Structure formats: C-alpha cells, structure tokens
Amino acid sequence: LYLLAFAGTQGLSWNRGDALVFLCAIAFGLHVAYTGVFAPRYPALPLASLQMAVVGLLSTAGSLLFERTASWNETAGQLMQPEVWLALLVSIGPTSAFAFWIQTVAQKFTSPSRVAVIFAMEPVFAAVTGVLFGGERLGLAAGMGCLCILGGMLLAELKSAG
C-alpha cells in the first residue's frame, strides 16, 4: 500500500499520517477478524448497530481530544446548516451503516481471511479507477504496490483454501 500511495511522491519517509494509517489498518484487520467470530453467533442488525455506535462514540471522543476547532458557538452554527445534516445522513445511513450491516451478514457465510482479501483489493481498484477516470498516472513503484497487494491477496487466499 505504501508503494501504491506514497512512493515517488516523498521517498521512503514516514510521517505521522502514515503511522496513523498503519494503525488504522491494524484496527480494521481486528474488526474483520472479530466480526468473523461474532457474526455467526448474533443477529446481524444489532451487531452492526453496536459497531456503528462504538465507532461513533470513539470518533466523537477522538475528535474532542485531538481536533483543534473553532469556538463552540462557531461549531454549533456550522452543525445547524442543512448541508451538514444532509452529509451526515448520507455518510451514516446508506453508506456506513448499510455497508457494516451487509458485511456482518456476509461474514456469516465466509471466513474473515476471505473478507480481508476482498478489502485488500480496495486500493488497487481505487488506483485503476484513478487511472481510467481521473487521468492519474501510475509509476513503477505504484505498479509494484498493486502487484504486491494482488500477490498478497492470492497468497492469503491459497493459504486459507489449502
């Protein structure tokens, strides 16, 4: 992923954002693994609802702790704008909540490693989409990153099937 996203733009140096993305990848891997454990045991809708509630609470706490914002009056004024509520409804409802619910339902019927393999292809699809529709150009390092992700996906799938 590093080769795909960053190589060629800033060399081989890591910054705070890269470390946070790495930690997020670990947390997301744990999420997939634990959803695989609990999805067969519990109904999908309450489990996905609990996941969304925990993410919402932790995101709110993280935002309050780490984000530098304007005064409360300015923030409250911005939150009352209809565009903000529309964006929140779209990003919480049909995108996040529906996706978590479908993932929870589907993980009853497949292994966590197979789900992780599917998710591992997301950056590759994003890169291909950027090339086809966004006019982006992939360099040698980015192409190698795509091949590494694809190779890792195939290796994980073959290992879990064997």
Please tell me the predicted confidence (pLDDT) of residue 150.
78
Tokens coding 91: 């990003």
Do residues 18 and 5 both lie within one domain? yes
Do residues 118 and 141 both lie within one domain? yes
Do residues 36 and 79 both lie within one domain? no
Please tell me the predicted confidence (pLDDT) of residue 123.
75
Do residues 159 and 133 both lie within one domain? yes
HSE toward the beta carbon, residue 67, CA cutoff 13 A: 11
Do residues 140 and 160 both lie within one domain? yes
R_g over Cα of the chain: 19
Give the integer Cα–Cα distance in Å for 1 and 4. 5
Do residues 115 and 36 both lie within one domain? yes
Under a CB-based contact definition with an 8 Å cutoff, are residues 131 and 137 in contact? yes
Do residues 125 and 162 both lie within one domain? yes
Written as tens digits, the pLDDT of the chain (162 aa) is 777 666 655 556 667 777 777 788 788 888 888 888 888 899 988 888 888 888 889 888 887 787 776 666 666 777 788 888 888 888 887 778 888 888 888 888 887 777 777 777 777 788 888 888 888 887 888 788 878 877 877 777 676 665
Do residues 50 and 10 both lie within one domain? no
Q: Which residues contact 139 (CB under 8 A, 6 or more apart)?
A: 7, 8
End-to-end, the C-alpha distance of the chain in Å comes to 26
Do residues 102 and 65 both lie within one domain? yes
Give the integer Cα–Cα distance in Å for 51 and 54. 5
Under a CB-based contact definition with an 8 Å cutoff, are residues 127 and 135 in contact? no
Range of the domain at 62: 44-106
Give how many domains the chain has, as a whole number.
Answer: 2
Do residues 48 and 102 both lie within one domain? yes
pLDDT tens digit string along 114-148? 777 777 777 778 888 888 888 888 788 878 887 88
